[in-house]
Amino acid sequence: MAVTEREQFHVCQVKRRRVRATGGYEPFWKVKTVAEALEDSDTEFRCKDCAGALKLFKRRVENGATPHVEHKLKGDSEYCPSGLHFLKATDGREPRISQFPVR
């Protein structure tokens, strides 16, 4: 099995708004694939596992890469349960939420 050296997620959370029962709107985070989020023109993203900030990579047709996201902060990748650096760590560390979660 090939191990990808680059972190790539294809699922993220996007910020949406919904009608509050008491009136007005409230934000909430919805899990979507990155491809869906791009189709829907979502602009606010975060990691579904650690709530950390993400960097968005749109599809580049020439090399066929699918749209994906990566952690913006290395510290998130080191402790996120789906972070590349976390998965590579051999010290038995515990995963945790981002120290700079997106709200």
Question: In the complex, which residues of this chain contact Zn ion (CB under 5 A)?
Answer: 47, 49-50, 52, 80
Closest C-alpha among 16, 7, 26, 14 to residue 81: 7
Of 14 and 80, the one with the shorter C-beta distance to Zn ion is 80
Closer to Zn ion by CB, 35 or 97: give it.
97
Q: Smallest gap, in angstroms, from Cβ of residue 59 to Zn ion? A: 22
Nearest approach, Cβ of residue 45 and Zn ion (Å) = 11
C-beta closer to Zn ion: residue 14 or 47? 47
Q: How far is the CB of 10 from Zn ion (least distance, A)?
A: 13
Is the CB of 37 or the CB of 47 nearer to Zn ion?
Answer: 47
Question: Which amino acid, 61?
Answer: V
Least CB distance to Zn ion at residue 95 (A): 9
